[in-house]
Amino acid sequence: MKIYYSDKHRRHNPSFEVFDGGQRVPYLETPDRMDKILAALGKTDWAEITEPENFGLDPILAVHDPGYINFLSTAWDEWTAGQPISDPISNNPILLPATFALRRRPHIPVSVLGRAGYYMMDLSACLVENTYEAALVSAYCALSGAKFIADNWLNTPVNRSSTAFALCRPPGHHAGKDYAAGYCFINNAAVAANCLSTKGRVALLDIDYHACNGTQDIFYDRSDVLTISIHGDPDYEYPYFVGYLDETGVGDGINFHHNFPLQPGTTDPMYLATMDKAINLIRDFAPKYLVVSVGADIYAGDPLGKFKITRDGFHEIGKKIANLELPTLMVMEGGYNNDALGENVVSFISALQRSGKR
């Protein structure tokens, strides 16, 4: 199986984040996450680690607002220009706003800190010197995977199934059209799905513990990309304001978005029953391609999740997706129990690894 990965993700490594209630904690979305997944993949005989291609900005600007992408690319240099920036606690400063736009009818301020509050939704999407570069290459991993499954579909008419895994960091599914959120800056899965949508209908299934507010924002008024999210109930879980059952799309997108909010303590059988509903929606939509946002934070014991999914449960979820027999791109999102992360991810994606269908 093609695994698209770049070591450039290490250039995004904030020293801390501001957690619930204002608590300052070490950044949970660390480079170690990728190391654990790579180590587990290294034990297999089917993982082919491949550097992503450079796709430029066009496929990213097809999804994200140009002003937002310009902010990501320039904010650090603008913030640090002509002044020493220091952090008395960590010696590794990060850019975070003190105020946030409520997005009713806001102006976009001129100052970099004002724009930070406009383009950043929360305190976990913090910028360091090379965040933009890491985010850009993360998106290229997803785009490379999308290109692979599309090309494989065209070149192998007898075998219409192909899979690829984009080992993306930073993750992407909380990033909306014009904002960063929840460790996410560029919506990797959405960029890939949008690219594939030029070749045929796409279904995007998000199985991360947290609702894919950014993906929902991007495709909410579209009927060519079916989006489905299975996640913790936003009445109690991040992102709180998005991910409810009654959010089904607007305009052309009505009934082309589906949220399945689940309660804390959800177990394998409960989750798999919901997966069956999502699978039926995908079958009815009859897409040409499938993109899966893979969040391993549904695992029992993840510090940011409250589900009770086992390692065997990950494999069963993967089998249900594999049974769709669609060209499938898997895109890495969350998962913060680093001791278990690698084996959980391999358990999931191995269910989609098809002998002779690479």
The per-residue b/e assignment along 180-210, b for 16 or more CB within 10 angstroms, e otherwise, is bbbbbbbbbbbbbbbbbbeeeebbbbbbbbb
CB–CB of 192/150 below 8 Å?
Answer: no
**Catalytic residue (one of 64, 173, 174, 258):** 174
Q: Determine how many CB atoms are found less than 10 A away from the CB of residue 154.
A: 11
**Residue 48: strand pairing partners:** 2
**Residue 2: strand pairing partners:** 48, 164
Largest CA distance in the chain: 62
CB–CB of 336/28 below 8 Å?
Answer: yes
DSSP string, 265-334: T--HHHHHHHHHHHHHHHHHH--SEEEEEE-GGGBTT-TT----B-HHHHHHHHHHHHTT---EEEEE--
Over its C-alpha atoms, the chain yields an Rg (Å, rounded) of 19
Positive or negative CA dihedral for 70, 134, 201, 160? positive
For 257, the 3-state DSSP assignment is strand
174 catalytic, yes or no? Answer: yes
Tokens 């960091």 locate to: 169
Residue 287, preceding peptide bond in cis (omega within 30° of 0) = no
C-alpha pair distances (Å), 42 with each of 35, 49, 190, 348: 10, 9, 28, 15
- Among residues 227, 168, 173, which one has the least CA distance to residue 197? 227
Give catalytic residues, as residue numbers. 174
